[in-house]
């Protein structure tokens, strides 16, 4: 049972345009969401997070939006840069205290120069 889903395995975006990566979840107990960026043969790098008490969090070029009623979140990157080409994972955790993350399957973002 995939509790965190990233339905787009890949996405191509022109440099300078906006990249929008989507993530859906099914577990209503999730209350904290994170986005990670991963290059091949490296560990994931933390990008940005959002708590369920918010619907938007912004950090530089990265903005995460959360729609709790739809159980949907998205990561916006603007403007997109070639160095943004990577696999992006969304992850979620609940408030049970065990700190475990449930990951989506990832979306490979390619920025076209």
Partner 1 sequence: GAVVSQHPSRVICKSGTSVKIECRSLDFQATTMFWYRQFPKKSLMLMATSNEGSKATYEQGVEKDKFLINHASLTLSTLTVTSAHPEDSSFYICSATERLAGRETQYFGPGTRLLVL
* Closer by beta carbon to partner 1, 43 or else 113: 43
* Closer by beta carbon to partner 1, 78 or else 101: 101
Tokens representing 37 are 């960026």
Residue 51 CB, nearest approach to partner 1 (Å): 7
Residue 76 CB, nearest approach to partner 1 (Å): 20
Which are the contacts of 98, defined by CB distance < 8 A and separation ≥ 6?
Answer: none
* Closer by beta carbon to partner 1, 12 or else 14: 12
Which are the contacts of 33, defined by CB distance < 8 A and separation ≥ 6?
Answer: 23, 25, 49, 50, 52, 64, 66, 73, 90, 91, 92, 93
Residue 16 CB, nearest approach to partner 1 (Å): 26
Q: How far apart are CA 90 and CA 42, in angstroms?
A: 16
* Closer by beta carbon to partner 1, 13 or else 48: 48
DSSP 67: E
Residue 100 CB, nearest approach to partner 1 (Å): 7
Residues contributing to the site for partner 1 (CB under 8 A) = 32, 34, 36, 41-46, 49, 51, 89, 91, 93, 98-101, 103-106
């Amino acid at each position: 049972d995939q509790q965190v889903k990233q339905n787009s395995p890949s996405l191509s975006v022109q440099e300078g345009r906006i990249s929008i990566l989507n993530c859906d979840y099914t577990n209503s107990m999730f209350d904290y969401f994170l986005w990670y960026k991963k290059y091949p043969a490296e560990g994931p790098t933390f990008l940005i997070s959002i708590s369920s008490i918010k619907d938007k969090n912004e950090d530089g070029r990265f903005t995460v939006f959360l729609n709790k009623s739809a159980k949907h979140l998205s990561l916006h990157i603007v403007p997109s840069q070639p160095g943004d080409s990577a696999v992006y994972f969304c992850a979620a955790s609940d408030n049970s205290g065990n700190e475990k993350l449930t990951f989506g399957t990832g979306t490979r973002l390619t920025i076209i120069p």
